[in-house]
Each structure stands twice: as structure tokens, then as C-alpha cells.
Amino acid sequence: MFKFNKNKFILIFAFLVFAAGAILRLIYLGHRPGLYFDEVLYGLDSYSVLKTGRDVYGHLLPLAFQSSGYYPPLYPYLLAPFLAVFGLWPWVVRLPAALAGISTLVLIYLLGQELSPKSKLFAITSLFILAFLPWHIHLTRIAFLAGFGIPFLLGGVYLFLKGAKNSFYYFLGTLAMAASLEAHYGYKLLAPLIFAGLVILNFKKMRQNKAILALMAVIWLVTIGILAVSYSKYNTNFRVTELINTNPISITQEYLKAFSPNFLFIRGDVNRLTNPFGAGQLPWVMLPFILIGLIGYLKQTNTTKFIIASFLLITPVPSALAGLGEHAVRNSPMIIAFVFLAALGVEFLINIKKWPRIILLVIALGAFILVWQTIFRMQYLFGEYSAQYGNLWGNTQRQAINFAENSKVENKVFIDSYNVMLSYFAFEKQVAPNEVQTTTLHPTEFGSIPAKKIDGAYFLSGEQGLGKDYLSKFPANTLVVDTLFFEKYPNLKIFQSSDGLRFGFLQIE
């Protein structure tokens, strides 16, 4: 006779949910949508370090990468081994981000078990919600650095809590949390504050092992040293100095926007690159469970309360300082708090003794709606969205490059701005890193206009204006392609693709 095994069923269900979440983060990874500009730069920088030990600007093993505003180094360095194995391809550039998202599914389940050891419901519910949450799915399908940092911080918290049984986990947890500082600038505030809070909550146990405390101190001293070098050598301090004149009132207003119904449930981030669905960051179906979860939150341990409150309340501060309170990527660590609160809401309802069938039906209906909405949104993302918003993801640049490559002319000229076209060209053509470094550091001329030359193509900076007669300076048998400023120059012809992408061009005979 068949005997129902509850623990086995939970494990199988957890595996199926995990598998579904992994598939949603890996399917069509490289081209639906295509790489946006920052991702191209991550790939070029990482590939350059892999092949030459220097980034595209020639910095030797940099601690901050100049190409995209001196961004932190963790992603390109961890990307390099994948490029060494698989090569420079769009899906490879995104693979570390997708794996980070998949690992977050594992970590939220493990942390859920650690926070609620007497019941697996909290952990399995957290896993289910995160696996099918569109905000997190998109966040980890794209190489967004803030999303990439979540598993390092979340893993650090989990390992830190494990330190109660084995103090060596304190060391590993500290290492993971310190690493998150090199993933995205927002973690430079969030990670140290969470670490400090956990130390205060667990200090009675930690002080018994002075060797571990010393190792933890060394980790943070090394981390601070790396940050100090980054600020002094790589100009990363500009991200701090640009906030000096920020109005405290506007900071508060931006901070509160992160908690507004408009951002969370109605409109979401207005940038369709960071919020492709054009809807609230959280599905409406989560709202009642989150509100009920606030009741369950009051009954949790101090450690659980601190962890949820930290992810919820500290995360929006850096984004608010930058004047971007409704930013889906920078505020992404808030996802952890909302998932835990919704899971607490489910757990609270399950523990109500009255109307068990009705409660189970409500929870099942909520789960069905979440999955159905996610499937609908992913269909939109892979289909209509990728076609309609392809200009956000480099489709115009790629089409312009293919257009130029199919033209049999002697000279190919791209009107550029901040190396956008040059970077896409170098990536698509897989130009050798040495050549990318040379053209970046040693510009040339074309038609007496400053230019950068790479693989036989010229790139002219157009953000300051080239003058109305700039075409007269070019020799015959030249093709000019302009994806950025072509509407300013009536002499250019307009190319428009079937999906509405437009750019200017002119072949000089």
C-alpha cells in the first residue's frame, strides 16, 4: 500500500520549482532581448583582461573599470573564466548573472529553513514566490550588477547564521558579504550595515573565537583597502562627490517613492529597459499576503526581523541619494524582504485553524495567478517586447553594423558617441583586445576629423556636432552610417527595418 511521504514530496516539489525557475532564467538568454550597452562593455572588458591582463582602456588588472563609469570589478573578473571556455558570445556575457539568480533560489530556500527551522513551509513558499517573480526573473536574465550582488549578500547572511553551530561559517559569511561590495555600489552601504547588525545580535557567541574575529577584521581591512585604491586611482569618488549638493528633502521624497503603490504595484520603473513589462514591480496578488505577513513579522525572532527590515529599509537609500527612488535594478535587494513577508503571510494563514479549505483554496489561487501572470509576461518579453523595444538592446547598432558589412565600399564610417558604436562593433566582430585598446588610447583621423579606427572601420565622435559640411571632407567610395544624430543631417538617407528600427546612411560615390 502506498504511504505518503511528506518530506519526500516537499523535496520533489522544491526541485520542480527550482527547475522551473532555472529554465525561466536561462531560456533565450543571449538574444531575447539582445545585449544592452553596459553588457557589451562588461564582455569587452572581461575578454580584454582575459587575453591581455588589461581592460579596454589599458589599465592593468583594474579594481574599477573605466568604460562604464568605473563600475566595480567582481562581474568582469568572474565572467572571464566563462569567456575562456565558451568564447565572447551574448549568452556567455549573461551567464554569470543567470547563475547568480539561480543560486539565489537555492539560498533563499536555505535561509528560509534557517530562519524557520520548525516548518519547511516558509522556505518552500519563499522559493516558489522568488522562482516565479517577474521582477527577479528579468533582473537575473540581464547582466545587472545589483542583481548579481544579491546572492553574495544573501549567502553571507545565511553562512553567518550557520556560524552559531560552526564558527568558521562566520568567516565565510563575512567573505561573501565583503565580496558583494565589489558587485555594485549600493552594497557599499547595505552589506556593512547588515554585517554590523548580525555581529551585534550574535556577538556573545562570536567572541568565544578570537581567531575568527581576527580573520573577519582582516577581510574588512582588505576590503576597505581595495576601496581606497579604487577611490584614489580609478576616480570612483566621482559617484560620491556628485551627491554633495543633493537636497535632503528630495532624498527623502525619492526614498519614499520606493515604497509607493505606484512603483510596487501599479506602474513600476518607467524605464522599459529595467522594467520591460510596464507594470508594477510586484504582482497585485502578492499584496494581501505581504500585508498579512506584516502581522507574522511581529512574531519572528529579532534576527529574522532585522534581516527583513534591513533588505527592505536600507536598500533604497543609495538609490534615493542618486535621485532614482523608483529604480527597479538599484532597489532590487528589496525583493528578498517582499518575498519573505509574502511567505510569512502564507504561513500565517495556514496556521489559522478556522476555514482550512477556504484558506488553502485562496493560497492555491494566488499561486496559480502568480504563475499565470509570469508565463504571460515571459511570452510578452520574448515576443512583442523584444521586437518593439529592440532599440534599447542594441538592435539598431547591430543592424547598422550588418548593413555596413554588406556594403562593398573602401571606407566605412560610423558616427559615434561615447564609444557606443565602436563597442558594439568590437563585440560583434570579436575584435582582438589589443586592437580595441590601441584604438581607444590612440585615435587617428578621417577626413581631417578626429576618429578611432578598428578593423578597417572609422568611428567619429558626434556628440559635439560635426558641422553641416562634414560629409564634404570624406573621400569617394565611403559609406557613412549614423544611428544617433542622423535626424540633424538632412543629407543622410533613412534606413528603416521591418521592425521599425531607423538609422541614417549615405554612400559617397
Same domain, 377 and 483: no
Confidence (pLDDT) at 94: 98
- pLDDT digit string, tens, across residues 388-420: 999 999 999 999 999 999 998 999 999 999 999
Q: Which residues pair with 413 in a beta bridge?
A: 458, 480
* Residue owning grid cell 545585449: 35
C-alpha 75/C-alpha 8 separation (Å) is 37
Same domain, 165 and 305: yes
| Weakly modelled stretches of the chain, pLDDT under 70 | 1-4, 235-246, 464
CA 95 to chain centre: 12
CA distances from 433 to 22, 56, 57, 131, 245 (A): 33, 7, 10, 37, 39
C-alpha 107/C-alpha 72 separation (Å) is 23
Same domain, 150 and 261: yes
Same domain, 52 and 121: yes
Query: What is the 8-class DSSP label of residue 431?
Result: -
Same domain, 345 and 481: no
CB 410 within 8 A of CB 478: yes
- Residues contacting 214, CB < 8 A, separation 6+: none
Query: What is the 8-class DSSP label of residue 507?
Result: E
Confidence (pLDDT) at 8: 86
Quick check: is 226 in a domain? yes
Confidence (pLDDT) at 240: 56
Same domain, 332 and 462: no
Confidence (pLDDT) at 147: 97
Quick check: is 183 in a domain? yes
Confidence (pLDDT) at 135: 98
- Find the DSSP H helices in 142-258: 145-162, 168-180, 187-206, 210-233, 238-241, 248-257
Quick check: is 1 in a domain? no
CA atoms within 13 A on the CB side of 498: 0
Taking Cα atoms as reference points, which of 146, 213, 214 lies closest to residue 180?
146
Q: Which of 335, 354, 388 is the last residue of a domain?
A: 388
Cβ burial of 306 (10 Å; 0-12, 13-18, 19+) is middle
Residue range(s) defining the domain that contains residue 13? 6-28+35-388
Same domain, 89 and 182: yes
Quick check: is 186 in a domain? yes
Q: Which residues pair with 328 in a beta bridge?
A: none
Same domain, 340 and 405: no
CB 393 within 8 A of CB 438: no
Q: Which of 372, 388, 404 is the last residue of a domain?
A: 388
Confidence (pLDDT) at 205: 86
- Residues contacting 175, CB < 8 A, separation 6+: 156, 219
C-alpha 215/C-alpha 136 separation (Å) is 34
Q: Which of 367, 388, 409 is the last residue of a domain?
A: 388
- By three-state DSSP, how is residue 448 classified? coil
Query: What is the 8-class DSSP label of residue 53?
Result: S
Q: Which residues pair with 446 in a beta bridge?
A: 449
* Residue owning grid cell 525557475: 21
C-alpha cell at position 503:
538609422
Confidence (pLDDT) at 245: 47
C-alpha 244/C-alpha 321 separation (Å) is 10
Quick check: is 76 in a domain? yes
Taking Cα atoms as reference points, which of 185, 113, 174, 114 lies closest to residue 149?
185
Confidence (pLDDT) at 243: 54
Same domain, 422 and 351: no
Confidence (pLDDT) at 226: 92
Give me the sheet containing 411-416, strands edge to edge. 444-446, 449-454, 457-461, 411-416, 478-482, 502-508, 493-496
C-alpha 19/C-alpha 23 separation (Å) is 6
Quick check: is 378 in a domain? yes
For residue 169, the tally of other CB atoms under 10 A from its CB is 17
Number of domains in the chain: 2
Cβ burial of 248 (10 Å; 0-12, 13-18, 19+) is exposed
Same domain, 254 and 310: yes
User: SS3 sequence, 86-147?
Assistant: HCCCHHHHHHHHHHHHHHHHHHHHHHHHHHCCCCCHHHHHHHHHHHCCHHHHHHHHCCCHHH
- By three-state DSSP, how is residue 72 classified? coil
Same domain, 422 and 298: no
C-alpha 125/C-alpha 128 separation (Å) is 5
Confidence (pLDDT) at 237: 61
Confidence (pLDDT) at 311: 98
Sign of the Cα torsion 89, 94, 98, 103 reads positive
C-alpha 423/C-alpha 136 separation (Å) is 28
Same domain, 342 and 403: no
C-alpha cell at position 113:
529553513
Q: Is the pTM of this model over 0.75?
A: yes
3-state helix, strand, coil in the chain (%, to 5): 60, 10, 30
C-alpha 374/C-alpha 277 separation (Å) is 10
CA-angle at 78, arms to 77 and 80, nearest 5°: 65
